[in-house]
Amino acid sequence: MIDSKQAAAALSDIDDIVRRVRQSQVYNLASLIMIWWGVLVFAGNIATWLWPWYAAYIWPAVNTGGVLGTVVISALLQIRARLRAVDGRVVAAYVLFYAFGYFCSDVLGDFGPRELGAFWPIYFMLFYVLAGLWFGQAFVALGLAITVLTLVGYFYVMGGTFLLWMAVVNGGGLVLGGLWMRWN
């Protein structure tokens, strides 16, 4: 027979294990999605550097591929781990996210290519930092690191080299962040 203090301690241990398993599942899903997006963003920046006149086609293709890949990865993990990650709310969040970003960057801001190259990664990283408030400090660290490095590039990396910088910082940062989450 256990007393109330031992029962409370056991329940606390169970809660801690449940929390760690849940965080592990979130990190597993997030890491795969981050690696997917990182590869696409890296390729998008390199493609834009090589063929800047096609940027208006490259980035919608990158974003469409990213969203479709996210849905596929989430569906596969849902089947395997019973972790539901994509539902109508997530799709609505994507639509609102892109609509607001478009409104700010193209309607209100009328940004040029360099400004767009800094705005979208910083905008994405805001949501990584916010997600980190619920899902773990790795998201906060990744979001802040990519934001700071994006700003360094925006202010100090000149000319077309900025796209190469962003390929490494944003695309490479997402891949490294995803790999780090898989290893930890």
Q: Tens of pLDDT along 29-62?
A: 889 999 999 999 999 999 999 999 999 999 999 9
173: exposed, middle or buried (Cβ count in 10 Å: 0-12, 13-18, 19+): buried
Tell me: pLDDT of 11 over 80.
no
Scanning the structure block, which residue is given the tokens 């709310």? 89
Average pLDDT, the chain: 88
**What separation in angstroms does the CA of 18 have from each of 11, 13, 23, 103, 156?**
10, 9, 9, 40, 45
pTM for this entry: 0.83
The encoded tokens of residue 17 equal: 């294990």
Q: State the amino acid at position 57 in one-letter form.
A: Y
Q: What is the tens place of the pLDDT at every residue in 120-137?
A: 999 999 999 998 898 888
- String of b and e for 83-114 (b: at least 16 CB within 10 Å)? eebbeeeeeeebeeeeeebeeebeeeeeeeeb
Domain boundaries, the chain: 23-183
Q: What local confidence, expressed as pLDDT, does residue 170 receive?
A: 96
